[in-house]
Amino acid sequence: MSATILLLEVSIILSFVFVILFFMYYKYLTVKTEMDNIADENNYYDSSSYFREKRKGTGALSTSAFVLTDSKSIGLRYLMTSLVFFFIAGTFGVIMRVSLIEPTPTLFAHREVLYDILTTEHSILMIYMWAVGSAFGLAYYLLPTFLKVKNDRYGNISSWAYWIYLLGGVFILLSRTSTRWYYYPPLALQLNPYGAGAMNWLAVIGMEMIFIGIAIASITVIRMIIFDRGQDVPMTKMPLFAWGVLFTLIMFLASAPFMMAALVMLFYDFFNPIFFTGVNGSSPISFAELFWVWGHPIVYIAILPQFGLIYEIIPKFTGKKVFSYSSGVFALGLLMPLSELVWGHHLLNSGLGLAWGLFFTTASFAVTVPSAITVFNYIATMWSAEKIRLTVPMLFVINGIFDFIIGGITGVMQSMLVINEEVHGTYWVTGHFHFIFMGITTGIAFAAIYMIWPSLTSGRKYDQRLANWHFTLTAIGSFVMSIGWTVGGFLGMPRYVSGYFARFQVYQDIAIAGGVIIGIGQLFFLANLIKSLLEEPSTSPSNVLEDVYKLPSPGAVGGE
């Protein structure tokens, strides 16, 4: 094919694409104007809220959420995409586990880079698309009712932020990068067609887009919490979930610029390597430092909203108020500055020096204080109750607290300067954060999804048996998987590699068993979702979780 014909074909295809895009935009604009007019006639500030409230079924998992721009719809968008990415990245994780069935790569023999790609995609998509995405989804979905927001504003900006964020996630998936989620430069700057990432540049762009999306969304949510609260919800009586989200987003805005700047510098290094490649006194370590200034807060961003959610969920099952509201706010608030001070414990083996090492170790130890306050607050709330209803969301919460205690203790241990020498870069670290991410991030997100199930499915109940299986398999699987890693890692099993020394066979086998159990467990969730959506609506599409200011009467709890 000659160049002229190619050019001609490309331009014809492109013009068709643009014509179709313009037509779609024209249709959208027509409908939007019409909707705005109708909303205006009915004294509504924006059309999306009007249609959400007037039309039945728009609060549920449906495509209309992608067109409407009210907070609930945007929350639903985030929830739906985060679930999709959870299943995609989860499949990657299970495939990775299965590929480690023998010490020498079997599934990926002579193609070991596929393991690197899978581990990178799994980590990036799970953290940014599932943990952050589900947190944003729940925040957008729950906060308007939690805070009795009257003017649901800046929906268009939130919508744009969502699309930028989604496109970033798709770019990450399309880039098939293998740089790990920390983008360390010598590897992240590889542009060879094989192995270390054919399209690392796309991964960098995708990550930057995710950041831009989250940053815009953060600002709108902070604005909603601070300025758009209802008149009768003072700051001091805000639900703890709102506090958790507020602290999280402030933490994000305080630490993300480091990584955003570092990514821009990294992208510049593709063309003119001056920042991180070692020329003229530059150093790859400086990227690592910039990354971890952001990289430590992100792991708190993944748990702080869920901490707040636990405070909202437990009273629904005990019928008692939270034991201590003020200490709850204090602990969540204290985690915010502390998380910014401990990033160096990820680099204790990178030659920061003894003084810095001791500083970061001590700061990491200080994090136990707010964490312990939070956990004891949960326990005291449950302790003071006469009776706890143990249905699936509450089981997820209890399992989350249990897993968080193990994960927290292993985390504090590994940030100790001495023990870090032993466990740095081993599966101990993987076990530590999977305890927390599976228990808190994933477990609480699922607990909240089960609690708002009737709203999500416009008035359907979830199947109790399937939900119980989902919980049981997730809890057992995540414990088995993480404990295998923790023990094996303490004995020196290196992580992030496609094979392992044969003497670690037993720990890998335990982790494989756990991983496969988790994978099967999530299928029960999917089955539950499809099953209940195929049924007839059998209950009211409201849910207990959103009604924060009223404690339930016994027997009317949960979304069942």
Binding-site member from 39, 74, 79, 83 for another protein (CB under 8 A): 83
Binding-site member from 5, 110, 232, 280 for another protein (CB under 8 A): 110
Q: Is 506 in the site for another protein (CB under 8 A)?
A: no
The separation between the first and the last C-alpha atoms of the chain, rounded to the nearest angstrom, is: 62
Residue 524, Cβ neighbours under 10 Å: how many?
A: 20
CB of 177 vs another protein, minimal distance in Å? 10
Q: Which is nearer to another protein, 400 or 519 (CB)?
A: 519
Q: Is 76 in the site for another protein (CB under 8 A)?
A: no
Q: Is 465 in the site for another protein (CB under 8 A)?
A: no
Q: Which region, judged by CB under 8 A, interacts with another protein, from 132-140, 238-246, 283-291, 497-505?
A: 497-505
Q: Which two tokens stand for residue 290?
A: 């910039």
Q: Which is it for the CA torsion 440, 339, 328, 432, positive or negative?
A: positive
Q: Is 526 in the site for another protein (CB under 8 A)?
A: yes
Q: Is 501 in the site for another protein (CB under 8 A)?
A: yes
CA distance 490 to 486: 6
User: What φ, ψ does residue 426 adopt, rounded to 5°?
Assistant: -110, 175
Q: Which is nearer to another protein, 85 or 291 (CB)?
A: 85
CB of 95 vs another protein, minimal distance in Å? 7
Binding-site member from 198, 341, 379, 385 for another protein (CB under 8 A): 198
Burial of residue 222 (number of CB atoms within 10 Å: 0-12, 13-18, 19+): middle
- C-alpha distances out from residue 118 to 70, 95, 97, 101, Å: 35, 8, 10, 16
Query: What residues from 202 to 231 belong to the interface with another protein (CB under 8 A)?
Result: none
- In 3D space, the residue among 449, 434, 314 whose CA is nearest the CA of residue 377 turns out to be 314
Cβ atoms of residues 476 and 517 within 8 Å: yes
Q: Is 492 in the site for another protein (CB under 8 A)?
A: no
CB of 309 vs another protein, minimal distance in Å? 23
Q: Which region, judged by CB under 8 A, interacts with another protein, from 190-198, 363-371, 463-471, 510-518?
A: 190-198
Q: Is 502 in the site for another protein (CB under 8 A)?
A: yes
CB of 525 vs another protein, minimal distance in Å? 10
How many residues in the chain?
560
Q: Is 195 in the site for another protein (CB under 8 A)?
A: yes
CA distance 364 to 342: 5
Interhelix angle 354-366/392-414, nearest 10 degrees: 160
- C-alpha distances out from residue 486 to 139, 147, 414, 425, 527, Å: 32, 41, 11, 12, 31
Q: Is 133 in the site for another protein (CB under 8 A)?
A: no
- In 3D space, the residue among 471, 481, 465, 461 whose CA is nearest the CA of residue 521 turns out to be 471
Q: Is 114 in the site for another protein (CB under 8 A)?
A: yes
CA distance 68 to 42: 17
CB of 84 vs another protein, minimal distance in Å? 6
Q: Is 189 in the site for another protein (CB under 8 A)?
A: no
In the beta sheet, which residues pair with residue 426? 494
Q: Which region, judged by CB under 8 A, interacts with another protein, from 7-15, 305-313, 373-381, 533-541?
A: 533-541
Q: Which is nearer to another protein, 98 or 405 (CB)?
A: 98
Count, residues near another protein per rule CB under 8 A: 45
Chain residues binding another protein by CB under 8 A are 57, 61-63, 80, 83-84, 87-88, 91-92, 95, 102-105, 110-111, 113-114, 117-118, 121, 173-174, 176, 192-195, 198, 457-458, 499-503, 526, 529-530, 532-534, 536
